[in-house]
Chains A and B, each alone.
Chain A
Amino acid sequence: MSPSRKTINELLTAYPFLSSFLEDNNINYKGNEDKTLREIINLLDKNEQEELAINIQQLEENLESFIEQMSEFLSDDDEEVTSITIFPGTDKSGAPEKYESLELKKGEIVCIVGPTGSGKSRLLGDIEWVAQNDTPTKRRVLVNNSVPDSKWRFSISDKLVAQLSQNMNFVMDLTVEEFVTLHAESRMIEDIEDTVKTIISNANNLAGERFSKDTPITSLSGGQSRALMIADTATLSKSPVILIDEIENAGIDRKRALDLLLAEDKIVLLATHDPTLALLGNRRIVIKNGGIDKIIETSEEEREILAELEVLDKRQMQLRNALRHGEKLQ
């Protein structure tokens, strides 16, 4: 039977996620759960229907599309993304890129370096759009070594790339707990309460200063916001690739943040010019004039520099904490 002919009760039993659909479409069904969508709309007089700008036919079609999309999103038969392979295209001047192919594997950190405007966004855009020689760079992207499903382009709930960029802020007027709950609901998570707890506690492990679940998200410090965004994205975002655009050093344990993402089997792309971070990756992609100029493997010598930097980093963090707690520096 077509969903449009089911009563609200039957619909909500079969598809619990429809409660958000009904709410977002301003359908007030309270007391009329035994009626179909059309019957409820017909209870409104013409003026009221006009006021709500409802077209019942369109609404029924939307109901069916929504059920279809959500059922697909919730089904577990999606193939897990284990690798993404990028084949060369051209740079801005049309010269071919000088690498054979670039394979990004899950659980890996790859850094992206190059000046602003060099083409980092376009590379990311190519991955997100799973380019098939049809973008300005003419690159080609494979997912799990095969030509990808077009759903990656258009599905809003299955995106290949999640992004944490530098100038991001929280703008909603909610507490930390309300906010993470809202996100979990929109991702149709089953065990919302526990998931929310885990995310908040993970975020607190990353943040220099602790915050409570009742803190309004807009009053979190820069470091706390970053910590919450990373913990939240690690757990709730379904995207297999996470791009992080520079994690500032203040108020967040960056190494732990990356470990958290890697534990969730993400492919982590890190756009950074901070040597401590850049050396955490196994490789770094150098972007120049819109193209990938070269791919550098992190060498043993470079890793030794990392050990040096980590000592400095720790020392700086320690001094920062001492300042925060009103102690004398020594």
Chain B
Amino acid sequence: MKLVTFSGPPSSGKTSVILKTIESLRHRDVSPAVVKFDCLYTDDDVLYRKAGVPVKKGLSGSLCPDHYFVSNIEAVVDWGLENSYDLLVSESAGLCNRCSPYIKDIKAICVIDNLSGINTPKKIGPMLKTADIVVITKGDIVSQAEREVFASRVQAVNPKAIILNVNGLTGQGCFELSTLLTEESQDVTTLKGKKLRFSMPSALCSYCLGETRIGENYQMGNVRKIDLEKGENSESK
């Protein structure tokens, strides 16, 4: 079984892209399954089920979805192996732009959309910068010029990635993406011993543990303070 991880900001079109890509894979007799990770709510599993794709979902609730993902992906891979799927797609929403859900030697795809603004590539961390393939969606509703500018910004922060324009509605580009998902990637038998490509956002302060009161006295653990005098902040005086 091969494993690929899809990630990207909310509403960037991950599910549509995956569904259309899976359609192409099926024509090539690849049997896929999906696991959807989200934070508070998702009904994407319904969409997958409707398309006849075996799906599991996991909601991280009050936890960082990245941490939740990495603590559960191993079990999910075992589920995929037990059921002898050819390809397991994990889909997770990037919520804080600092997300870093990719695993070394496992194909990583970041989905972002043209509507998110040309400074977005600059703002997204490892989720975009360490991806193998960057899929850019919603190109049909912006101008050719904006598409080109957006893609060049993505290229500047991740020059090694393959950048594809994909239309999640018509499926244009999904066949091409499907060929890239299965080629040159190794079968996984276990994730044990594998490593993340980049450290995840760190946390663990009193607020992670349920504290609700505001004030210096209640802040413990990993706490960082804004410096209102330093760097560009000092200019505002």
Residue ranges of A at the interface with B (Cβ–Cβ < 8 Å): 20-21, 23-26, 47, 50, 53, 55, 58, 61-62, 65-66, 69, 121, 124-125, 129, 134-136, 153-154, 156-157, 162-165, 167-172, 179-180, 182-183, 186-187, 225, 229, 232-233, 236-237
CA separation between A58 and B118, bound complex, in Å? 23
Find B156's partner among A25, A167, A171, A225 (CB 8 Å cutoff).
Answer: A25
Query: How many Å lie between the Cα of A2 and that of B157 in the bound state?
Result: 19
In the complex formed, the residue of B with least CB distance to A65 is B159
Which residue on chain B has the smallest CB distance to residue A153? B176
Q: Are A53 and B152 in contact (CB under 8 A)?
A: no
The 8 A CB mask of B168-200 against A (1 = contact, 0 = none) is 001111011001000000000000000000110
Q: A62-B160, A170-B146 are in contact. List 17 more A-B contacts (CB 8 A).
A: A20-B156, A25-B156, A50-B202, A53-B125, A66-B156, A121-B167, A121-B172, A136-B24, A154-B162, A156-B154, A157-B155, A163-B139, A168-B140, A171-B142, A172-B117, A180-B145, A186-B152
Chain B positions within 8 Å of A55 at CB level: 126, 198
Q: How far is the CB of B80 from chain A (nearest CB, A)?
A: 26
Tell me if A21 and B175 are in contact (CB < 8 A): no
* A233 lies within 8 A of B145 (CB): yes
Instruction: Choose one: B115, B160, B202; the contact of A171 (CB below 8 Å).
Output: B115
> In the docked arrangement, what's the CA distance between A225 and B144, Å?
12
B198 engages A156 (CB within 8 Å): no
Interchain Cβ contacts under 8 Å between A and B, 10 examples: A55-B198, A62-B159, A65-B160, A66-B156, A125-B172, A154-B162, A157-B155, A179-B145, A233-B144, A236-B148
CB neighbours of A136 from chain B (8 A): 24, 27, 175
Cα distance, A20 to B154, chains bound together (Å) = 11
| CB pair A24 B143 closer than 8 Å | no
Are the C-beta atoms of B125 and A164 separated by less than 8 Å?
A: no
Quick check: A53 and B126 within 8 Å, CB to CB?
A: yes
Q: In the bound complex, how far is the Cα of B130 from the Cα of A245, in angstroms?
A: 35
B57 within 8 A of A: no
Q: Find the A residue at minimum CB distance from B153.
A: A24
Nearest A residue to B158, CB-CB: A62
Query: Which residues of chain B from 129 to 146 have any CB-CB distance to chain A below 8 Å in the complex?
Result: 129-130, 139-146
B156 close to A125 (CB less than 8 A): no
> Does B56 make an interface contact (CB < 8 A)?
no
Return B219 CB to nearest CB of chain A, in Å. 16
Bound-state CA distance A153–B163 (Å) is 10
**For chain B, which range describes its interface: under 10, 10 to 19, 20 to 34, or 35 or more residues?**
35 or more
| A125-B175, A183-B145, A232-B144 as given contacts; A156 in contact with B160, CB under 8 Å | no
B58 at interface (Cβ–Cβ under 8 A)? Answer: no
Instruction: Tell whether, in the assembled complex, residue B156 and residue A58 are in contact, meaning their CB atoms are under 8 Å apart.
Output: no
> Is the pair B145, A156 in contact by a Cβ cutoff of 8 Å?
no
A187 to B145, CA, bound (A): 10
Q: Does B67 belong to the interface (CB within 8 Å)?
A: no
Let me know if A165 and B27 touch, CB within 8 A.
Answer: no
Interface of B is mostly: helix
Which residues on A sit within 8 Å (CB–CB) of B179?
Answer: 134
How far does the Cβ of B76 sit from chain A's closest Cβ, in whole Å?
A: 26
Give, as a whole number of angstroms, the nearest-CB distance from B99 to chain A. 10
List residues of chain A with CB within 8 A of the CB of B141.
167-169, 171
Min CB gap A61→B, angstroms: 7
The reply to whether B170 and A121 form a contact with Cβ atoms under 8 Å apart is yes
A233: B residues at CB distance < 8 A: 144-145
Q: Which of A69, A124, A237 contacts B155 (CB 8 A)?
A: A69
CA distance A233 to B147 in the complex (A): 11
Tell whether, in the assembled complex, residue A125 and residue B173 are in contact, meaning their CB atoms are under 8 Å apart. yes
What chain A residues lie within 8 Å of B114 (beta carbons)? 171
Instruction: Point out which of A66, A167, A168, A170 has the most chain B C-beta atoms below 10 A from its C-beta.
Output: A168
Instruction: Identify the 10 closest CB pairs spanning chains A and B, nearest first.
Output: A53-B125, A24-B156, A65-B159, A66-B159, A186-B152, A183-B145, A156-B163, A156-B151, A186-B149, A121-B172
| Residue B122 CB within 8 A of the other chain | yes
* Contact status B156-A157, CB under 8 Å: no
Answer yes or no: B121 CB below 8 A from chain A CBs. yes
Asked if residues A237 and B153 are in contact (CB atoms below 8 Å), the reply is: no
- Report whether A232 and B145 are in contact in the complex, using a CB–CB cutoff of 8 Å: yes
> For the complex, what is the distance from the CA of A61 to the CA of B202, rounded to whole Å?
25
When chains A and B are docked, how far (Å) is the Cα of A328 from the Cα of B63? 68
Chain A residue nearest to B224 (CB atoms) is A47
Whether A167 contacts B140 by the Cβ 8 Å rule is: yes
